[in-house]
A and B are shown apart, each in its own frame.
Chain A
């Protein structure tokens, strides 16, 4: 996947960005015979906000009726409930509660309930604080009422994003990693797009879909459109040991404020406890640094919902930067000029939930408006189903034994915290993982309580072996993020001062 792209850089559609939006669009496009390419700047998928979020599939009661969010979110929710089986990613139907403290917040719950009804949210009910605590005994005693939403679900957001792009690739979509768009090519009159220029050469297509997350306005300006601005908004999170995961069994929201949905507390799809996010606007699009204040705010906010969260059981912290648009809503629009350029921007929360519905909408939008430049013919060979790499940890004993006896690599545990076998790592590499982080996103070694202390030497070794390179070339997350710097003794050889 290194080097410049050659003659074959001609496509019908180019998607910029392989977050959940780009990945779901790619998968929609793969239903047709057209030639599509996805260009991703990073070394791992997912990378941006799709990697670092609350992994919630929202019910859809949160957004004002009539908004794009209100339109796509409940629809996306319903789609996920079918897609997770078709595409084999982890989705768990835990349901969600919005927790209210006192009368004014309770009034807000009623508003959310009405909104949800208008938006088509399924399975809502307002319950008393006591009823909440019967199901969630660790929630704060001063919560007076809660809005239950049965259709709220949790996904493994890494697996979900990978599932869409994996299936798209199986159906013929090309994926180019470490490929950063630095210009939009159009005809001389700038009336139609022709392609994009990148660090790896030009890619040509009459339709360009801008799904570049926090960079969407920058990319849009390259096409000559400055109709919106992205305000990068950082959110910080903690993940806790599975032992703490059992503190809650569902997804808990604070009552929403102007800043966002507030701090949430979640039992994740993989049984950890996740808390966050804060919401702080910043100018830097790439600054995903955690901050002492942000982490403290996250923790304090979460403790308002679940007072007993033990900070010493945190296994890691991270932050994500959301693509908050100044339009206050999703911004999905095909430009008139240059024709062929489509912005799919400002996809912040509930963006992950909405993505499949947005992808369907965007595909229809192109079909209707750009059908003259791209032929939409259903691909009879399209296979909608796709299997994830078997998750050893979740398999029954007989299936484990069947795999272990089929290949010794299935019998070799690489990551003990998450029970990941060598075979899973090898398969992740076969499907495109090139870095320690990418392997982690695919099959989870390093996500457990020791955070890679045990498995990282083994993952480095397997990556090097499978890719046929020295361990010295293996990176944590691409670029110059090398895990190791030299062999031992090399710093001591003659000419090197001790």
Chain B
């Protein structure tokens, strides 16, 4: 059975320009990308069709630190479908001061293959 071609529109979030991509797909295969301002758009379109990913940011509770919470991020983009799991995982996570920027807070979070790392340093209170 052959899948029919269809045209989808994605708003690329790779950079602040926000190109509205015109993407022709067949099943999970991207046939062409138009209206992209740069090559990032092609990669973004391919991801959106197969498995949309986003850079994830939030906070974790910081124990004994100069602030009660420490901002964190995923080292690399992680699947959008995993965001719910990751937020719940973070809700149960604490980091003890001192915390340094880039420090791994959760390794391979929820089996996504990427780490949650601190995005700022926090000294002891």
What is A's interface to B at a CB cutoff of 8 Å? 488-490, 492-494, 498
Contact = CB atoms under 8 A, between A and B. Distances in A.
A489 B61 contact: yes
16 contacts: A488-B59, A488-B69, A489-B61, A489-B90, A489-B91, A490-B91, A492-B87, A492-B88, A492-B90, A492-B91, A493-B91, A493-B92, A494-B88, A498-B84, A498-B87, A498-B88
Interface string B74-92: 0000000000100110111
A54 B84 CA distance: 53
Contacts of A493: 91-92
Interface string B40-69: 000000000000000000010100000001
Contacts of B92: 493
A492 B90 CA distance: 9
Contacts of B88: 492, 494, 498
B120 to A, nearest CB: 16
Nearest to B87: A492
Interface of B: 59, 61, 69, 84, 87-88, 90-92
Contacts of B59: 488
Contacts of A489: 61, 90-91
Nearest to A493: B91
Interface residue SS majority, chain A: loop
B81 to A, nearest CB: 13
Nearest to B60: A489
A493 B92 CA distance: 7
B122 to A, nearest CB: 15
Contacts of B69: 488
A493 B91 CA distance: 6
A485 to B, nearest CB: 16
A492 B59 CA distance: 12
A490 B92 CA distance: 9
A492 B92 CA distance: 9
Nearest to A492: B91
A489 to B, nearest CB: 4
A24 to B, nearest CB: 45
| Closest 4 A/B residue pairs (Cβ) | A492-B91, A489-B91, A498-B84, A492-B88
A494 B92 CA distance: 9
Could you say which of A488, A489, A492, A493 has the most chain B C-beta atoms within 10 Å of its C-beta?
A: A489
A490 B68 CA distance: 14
A486 B90 CA distance: 17
A372 to B, nearest CB: 62
A356 to B, nearest CB: 48
Nearest to A491: B91
Nearest to A490: B91
A489 B59 CA distance: 9
A328 B92 CA distance: 65
A386 B18 CA distance: 62
A493 B93 CA distance: 11
Contacts of A498: 84, 87-88
Contacts of B61: 489
Given A488-B59, A492-B90, A494-B88, 13 more contacts: A488-B69, A489-B61, A489-B90, A489-B91, A490-B91, A492-B87, A492-B88, A492-B91, A493-B91, A493-B92, A498-B84, A498-B87, A498-B88
A179 to B, nearest CB: 36
Contacts of B91: 489-490, 492-493
A272 to B, nearest CB: 35
Nearest to B94: A489
Contacts of A492: 87-88, 90-91
Contacts of A494: 88
A489 B72 CA distance: 14
Nearest to A497: B84
A490 to B, nearest CB: 8
Contacts of A488: 59, 69
Contacts of B87: 492, 498
A488 B61 CA distance: 9
A52 to B, nearest CB: 37
Contacts of A490: 91
A457 to B, nearest CB: 12
A490 B87 CA distance: 11
Nearest to B83: A498
Nearest to B59: A488
Nearest to A498: B84
B119 to A, nearest CB: 16
A316 to B, nearest CB: 31
A205 B102 CA distance: 68
